[in-house]
Structure 1
């Protein structure tokens, strides 16, 4: 019997709770189809666990992207936009203040102008003044109503905004991907893969993905009219970098179609055939675009773009994506980076406030969730409304509990209006929870929306305690779904031969990875040879060796945001991601540690 086989997995959850880290569980071994038999068995296992049963699902060529069949109102929307271009009408793109909305706005602006639209402009709502999406408050600030309003990543719930636009004489085309309500706004056309009458093969499209399909339909319509007989017909693939960024940043499911769109966009970024603003954002983030991965878009580029919409105005982000001159792109990207640093400071201060509150009330909690669900609803008058969603997500991950974080609806305001953002865990549908609360206590919540894992709402500060009580009551029937602690699910062990750059290349080739198609995570038992503290012990550099291969060369590992103290002993079960780390032009294998637990090994 090998040493690793003698490790005690039954002690894993208890050890995790004592250490304040995640327990480790391996996925059930999936059935691997014959179409994957030619691959490395560990790679085939990873792909099968993510629903890959046919080799065609791994075809990331542009020709494999789904046709637009089944997208409702797409032809009518294309006709309306084409009419506006032909008549030289004014077109106003109304975006959203997140990365999906910003990329969709930049995509449509670039695309429509390239197709001959001479009077195309954009407008991004101010989070504080206008609220979300197309609204009467936003339209009130226009000097002249545009002939056509095109919404991107919003509009499906903008009944009042659409009505106001129509009353002012504008035609309205809505492109959105959010779930519709019981009724649709009275727009001239609504393109949304999640409409009840839609029959499109990918309901997971991001807002920028829907916008991409609209541009393709507009180009086809103009082609049919002979519009490009005397004009250059644009290549829409030129802007797939924007589609990739918005898709990853919006954390939509990476189904087969979205993976193709993202893979194409990443390919363009790696070859520098992308927007100068995206290259500049890679530079300020300290990332190499030649090695761009979906994780770079999700954790480095997207947050810098999103920061503008959270603390400033997303117009700055759109202008960065529209910049054609490298110097201007660098200037705007640098400003976005500075705003993102401010956002991280605000976020850290808010998390510190939560920790201090709990320390005072409960004599310290660490990463252990408060036992009373009312304490999973956090508020402080100094919280920033643009960052509450991020903080809720951090607390949800730390506590493995559904969490709501509230802030004054406007920065510095004390008018009693609160804005809340919630994040949930698997098994507890957050929007359904709000529906239940609203049904039990009508009038408690002023308004809400969202989906299973994230939701937002507004209410009066005087009702916050009542909301905490209603939230606690609603969670009573979900008590059995609350886990003991955070659990990390892995794809099992790797062989020693897999700890090689060739295997990492194979993983990268079969991505992109993201929501619904999670990046592979493995676990093995290692001997820990060296430990070096970084940043006062917040991170650790490790030298480890597979326990079953005592003669193998040690491997470097990095554990970011490691617990204090580290697991005891020199034998750990480590959940990790193998990566190709580049330094001074050389690549070498490195492990990024997700969590680690001590194991007992018999000689």
Structure 2
């Protein structure tokens, strides 16, 4: 059972011009002065700090100026799709005529620039390959491209291993020796920075004297979507990118593919916030790569025809509904496996789950759901058509999952065929017959790195609210006070209430009326995805809640609503 605890709030004299609630919210997230909340583009870190960016630009200039053929190799998630779209759109805006993309099908090729994918790329006869959101671990793939006479530029953000690929250029803030301060940049941000540097170099050379120089800010809605959907920490640089992308969409300047995805998700573009990227757009785009081919999602982001975008977005929405259905069945099977663990008195700290018929494209979501339920690091495995086990890992705060898998690999050579990832998520392929041994090794390493205290889930609260602070005005200030996201979480408060009314709506949501203790103020509240075996509970009339202030919109009318995050 999670417990509610108050955040530590440092003194922030530089925030005294703000309302008291906003002062403590920002201070608790490390913002100690008002000027740190300025999210203008002029505050972005300079591209010159990225190691390898000059070499990448030199390789790309002939693609624009001489008509050299470039093949962009992407990835089958949102970050990979948006990275591919940013690269193609930017290069075409600058004048490139021969740019195309190739994204590996998850089921045929797996992740990254593999030798098998290079064999396909060779048939497309590129002069240069550029990876986006992958490549830092593609030692064999880059070697295969080099052997075929095709140079490779790697742009990536995943953590580098001990050996780097022999690429013409590597741009990755997480490679050794890179001084770029935002190590939390997603893959799309990295390629956006490469495009900024390329535009600057072309401008300096006089390339735009005969043609219009593109405004790269028009790509920021794609970068913002990637940053939120890939759940990278929202440091200041990322918050600038996300905020600027959101502003473009709210102003009606977003790409038609994003507008179409918002339409099928029932979201109003003028009022979207960062969480809409994560809960509305991201899952629909990801569904293409999970169940079919991410090329469909990329085409949605590349088209400028609204009718075509709506047609593709409708297909993606259907894929997402299918994905949810598959996921629900897999969750039930996973819970049955966990029940067997308990019956056998086996409660691992690091949990590995496998069913032969699980869907390869959905194991990442399954691992995330079970991780949330158990508050344990979880790896879910599925077998491909050849019986090879592929796993998707999700972690909890305090455990760097890629480093854990690396430690398992070093302690037990021969179990893992390949792996990669970052702090909170990773992927891997196991060698034949290695599942049981890997499961034991993974659990042992997790136990060595996680204390019992770290395994106890907490919900951090920004404190109590006074009766006057339960207001629509404050809810609106908080809504637009972000962007909120990973490592810059939405404000959560807590308090004790009298439970006046409770009823189920939509099968699994608890609609309530709450009264703060010592007050006759009645507040609407909703708790999504409750356990219907426990709620409603007419025996309970006093509750301690962790909640967010939310603006509920119904038939053009706005009202205050509490979004319950935990109740005890």
**Scaled by the length of structure 2, what TM-score is found?**
0.95
1:263 and 1:114 map into 2 onto residues whose CA distance is 23
- Give the Å deviation of 1:431: 2.6
Q: Looking at both structures, which has the greater relative contact order when contacts are Cα pairs under 8 Å and sequence separation is at least 6?
A: 1
Instruction: Give the equivalent residue in structure 2 for 1:571.
Output: 542
Residue of 198, 204, 209 corresponding to 1:224: 204
- Give the Å deviation of 1:387: 1.1
Instruction: Give the equivalent residue in structure 2 for 1:497.
Output: 468
Please tell me whether residue 108 in structure 1 is matched to residue 76 in structure 2.
no
**In structure 2, the residue corresponding to 1:228 is in which secondary structure?**
helix
1:155 and 1:286 map into 2 onto residues whose CA distance is 36
Please tell me whether residue 557 in structure 1 is matched to residue 532 in structure 2.
no
- Give the Å deviation of 1:482: 5.6
Contact 1:575 1:596 in 2 (8 A): yes
**In structure 2, the residue corresponding to 1:447 is in which secondary structure?**
strand
Please tell me whether residue 40 in structure 1 is matched to residue 28 in structure 2.
no
Contact 1:26 1:491 in 2 (8 A): yes
- Which residues in structure 2 correspond to 1:385-464 (within 5 Å)? 385-408=360-383, 410=384, 413=385, 415-460=386-431, 462-464=433-435
Contact 2:350 2:442 in 1 (8 A): no
Instruction: Give the equivalent residue in structure 2 for 1:86.
Output: 65
- CA change 1:304–1:144 in 2 (3 A) is closer
- Give the Å deviation of 1:496: 1.9
**In structure 1, the residue corresponding to 2:14 is in which secondary structure?**
helix
Residue of 249, 272, 279 corresponding to 1:269: 249
Contact 2:350 2:443 in 1 (8 A): no
Instruction: Give the equivalent residue in structure 1 for 2:322.
Output: 342
Instruction: Give the equivalent residue in structure 2 for 1:541.
Output: 511
Query: After superposition, what is the alpha-carbon deviation per residue over 1:45-84, rounded to whole angstroms, capped at 9, x for unaligned?
Result: 0101111023222111112112113111212211221222
Instruction: Give the equivalent residue in structure 1 for 2:558.
Output: 587
Please tell me whether residue 487 in structure 1 is matched to residue 458 in structure 2.
yes
- Give the Å deviation of 1:359: 4.3
1:77 and 1:480 map into 2 onto residues whose CA distance is 44
- Give the Å deviation of 1:484: 6.2
Over aligned residues, Cα RMSD in angstroms? 1.9
**In structure 1, the residue corresponding to 2:416 is in which secondary structure?**
coil
Query: After superposition, what is the alpha-carbon deviation per residue over 1:6-37, rounded to whole angstroms, capped at 9, x for unaligned?
Result: xxxxxxxxxxx4xxxx3211112x12321101
Instruction: Give the equivalent residue in structure 1 for 2:358.
Output: 383
Query: After superposition, what is the alpha-carbon deviation per residue over 1:404-449, rounded to whole angstroms, capped at 9, x for unaligned?
Result: 21110x2xx3x43211122222233323332332233221222222
Instruction: Give the equivalent residue in structure 2 for 1:532.
Output: 503
Which moved further from structure 2: 144-153 or 397-406? 144-153
1:375 and 1:475 map into 2 onto residues whose CA distance is 5
Unaligned stretches of 5+ in structure 1?
1-16, 365-369, 598-603
- Give the Å deviation of 1:205: 0.8
Please tell me whether residue 161 in structure 1 is matched to residue 141 in structure 2.
yes
- Give the Å deviation of 1:375: 8.5
Unaligned stretches of 5+ in structure 2?
none
Please tell me whether residue 31 in structure 1 is matched to residue 10 in structure 2.
yes
1:218 and 1:428 map into 2 onto residues whose CA distance is 37
1:323 and 1:147 map into 2 onto residues whose CA distance is 25
1:478 and 1:141 map into 2 onto residues whose CA distance is 42
Instruction: Give the equivalent residue in structure 1 for 2:113.
Output: 134
Contact 2:337 2:353 in 1 (8 A): no
Instruction: Give the equivalent residue in structure 2 for 1:8.
Output: none
- Which residues in structure 2 correspond to 1:321-332 (within 5 Å)? 321-332=301-312
Instruction: Give the equivalent residue in structure 2 for 1:244.
Output: 224
**Scaled by the length of structure 1, what TM-score is found?**
0.90
Instruction: Give the equivalent residue in structure 2 for 1:11.
Output: none
Contact 2:158 2:420 in 1 (8 A): no
**In structure 1, the residue corresponding to 2:49 is in which secondary structure?**
coil
